[in-house]
Amino acid sequence: MSFESLWAVQSAIGRDPDTGGYTRGGWTPTEREATHWFRAECATRDLTLESDGLGNLIAWWDPAGDPRGKPALRPAPRAGNVASGTAGNGSGSAGPPGASGGVAGHRPDVAGSAEPSSGSPDGGSRSALYLPGGEPAARRGVVTGSHLDSVIDGGAFDGPLGVVSALAAVDRLRAEGFVPRVPIGVGAFVEEEGSRFGMPCLGSRVAAGVLPAEKALALTDRQGVSLRRALEDDGTDPAGVGPSPLLAKMGTFVELHVEQGRGLTAPVGVASSIWPHGRYRFTFTGEANHAGTTLMEDRHDPMLTYAMTALAANKQARLAGARATFGRLSVEPNGTNAVPSTVTAWLDARAADTATLESLLAAITRQAVERAERDGTTVVVTPESVSPIVDFPAGLRDRIVGVLDGAPVLPTGAGHDAGVFSAAGVPTAMLFVRNPTGISHSPAEFAEEDDCLAGVEALAAVLKDLAK
């Protein structure tokens, strides 16, 4: 199936008829529908689909693992964190009505030393592991893909472009008659945006063991529904949530993503790094009072403290060449004719290096505290998630640049699952597809079809090089 056909079907799922945007929070009906679509496409291709306890998915193409030239289909395990199949129901999420297909169990976790091979980015390899007795136990594969969830009223390309392009790249390689020496996996990782439970890269953080299961399950959405409850409502046992066995099979990860700024002028580029970034909750507390009878000089208004803090964040970010955004706000009691008692605001801050990020946060916090003293209010700053800088391996990056005939290299201020996997020790790279306007996290997000097709071609070339 062509990229265009795949994109037409996937991009219709959950599109808001009024705004043209998407709201696919984790484990919501629209996100589940997109996940069912992915499962069905994997079944159509006879890919071996595996899910961990949270619902992260990887579909494997491994013709070298089956003498018939198709992925070997294995019985599903009765215990453990991985459930497998092609499109039918499995632990983690239900399949689409009427879906069917083979069911495959995961290979056991193994320990041992790696055999050198061309499948590794630096000459050494994570692609073939051996048990102490020297017998082959599992071959680590090259994984690509991205996520299917979105921010609130987000664009079509952020995440899904990487998933659709991965399927299209596998189709292209198959059509060429290419037989990978190691498995190629197509991944779809859950709740990357964190738009429902407030934790970015939730699926990959749990998979990598960065976010403990108990903390993840205790997260709540804006309606007070916990992740534990959301999983139970989806038919998933929360007891299976934890570090993912899927990572034991991931030798290399290459994520294709729409570029989310105007820094890329060629159709396809390669990432050098991800800026350090964090989400911080500012809680401003004052005194509720009557809007009509309380003198201005008698007020303890936390909204004023917040407003001045937002202005300070804008100024400090501009001075530092960084990014600072207050994009979410909660007000209590939230009455038109009442001075607020509490204002809670969430700051997203990003910078090119850790020192600048820390300095930016300190400056904003200092000005917030100073303003609170003037207003007779208080402010408490709570980090909710902080991600360090990620420098992608130079050897892998340069190898991909060579495969793509000198594609441009650029950093990004956006966070990605690729950053989590890289920090976890998986050799990781990113490809970017040009965004002509630079607009992202908006219904206006866009990429030209020709650039998307160039992305598929580039991704296929990279996968072929890494899996040969």
Which CATH number do you get for residue 439?
3.40.630.10
Give CA separation, 94 vs 35, 187, 268, in Å: 9, 17, 35
One domain, residues 335 and 376? yes
Q: Which helix (H) or strand (E) holds 96?
A: none
Neighbours of 106 (CB within 10 A): 24
Q: Is the pLDDT assigned to residue 99 strictly greater than 90?
A: no
Confidence (pTM): 0.82
Instruction: Examine the fold and report which residue of 330, 357, 387 is the final residue of a domain before the chain moves on.
Output: 387
Q: Output b/e per residue, 316-349; b: 16+ Cβ within 10 A.
A: bbeebebbbebeeeebeeeeeebbbbbbbbbbbb
Find out whether 193 is annotated in a ligand binding site.
Answer: yes
φ and ψ at residue 243, rounded to 5 degrees = -50, 140
Question: Is 441 assigned a ligand-binding role in the annotation?
Answer: yes
Q: Give yes or no: residues 13 and 156 share one domain.
A: yes
216-262 confidence digits (pLDDT tens): 999 999 999 999 999 999 999 999 999 999 999 999 999 999 999 99
353 and 427, same structural domain?
A: no
> What value does the CA radius of gyration of the chain take, rounded to a whole number of Å?
23
Whether residues 297 and 414 fall in one domain: no
Range of the domain at 25: 3-275+389-467
Shared domain for 56 and 95, answered yes or no, is yes
Q: Inform me whether the pLDDT recorded for 81 exceeds 80.
A: no
Asked if pLDDT for residue 382 goes beyond 70, the answer is yes
Q: What's residue 139's pLDDT? A: 78
What are the tens digits of pLDDT across the range 390-441? 999 999 999 999 999 999 999 999 999 999 999 999 999 999 999 999 999 9
Identify the CA nearest to 59 among candidates 82, 38, 36.
38
Using a pLDDT cut of 70, give the percent of the chain over it.
84
Q: Check the annotation: does 449 bind a ligand.
A: no
158 marked as part of a ligand binding site: yes
Per-residue confidence (pLDDT) for residue 66, from 0 to 100: 62
The number of distinct structural domains making up the chain is 2
| Nearest alpha-carbon partner for 267 in 400, 416, 461, 452 | 452
Do 366 and 411 belong to one domain? no
The span from the CA of 61 to the CA of 186, in Å, is 8
Listed residues 357, 387, 417: the one ending a domain: 387
Domain boundary among 354, 387, 420: 387
CA distance 326 to 225: 24
Q: For residue 135, is pLDDT > 60?
A: no
232 is in an annotated binding site: no
Q: Are residues 221 and 317 in the same domain?
A: no
Beta bridge partners of 154: 22
Same domain assignment for residues 57 and 158: yes
Task: Check whether 181 is labelled as a binding-site residue.
Answer: no
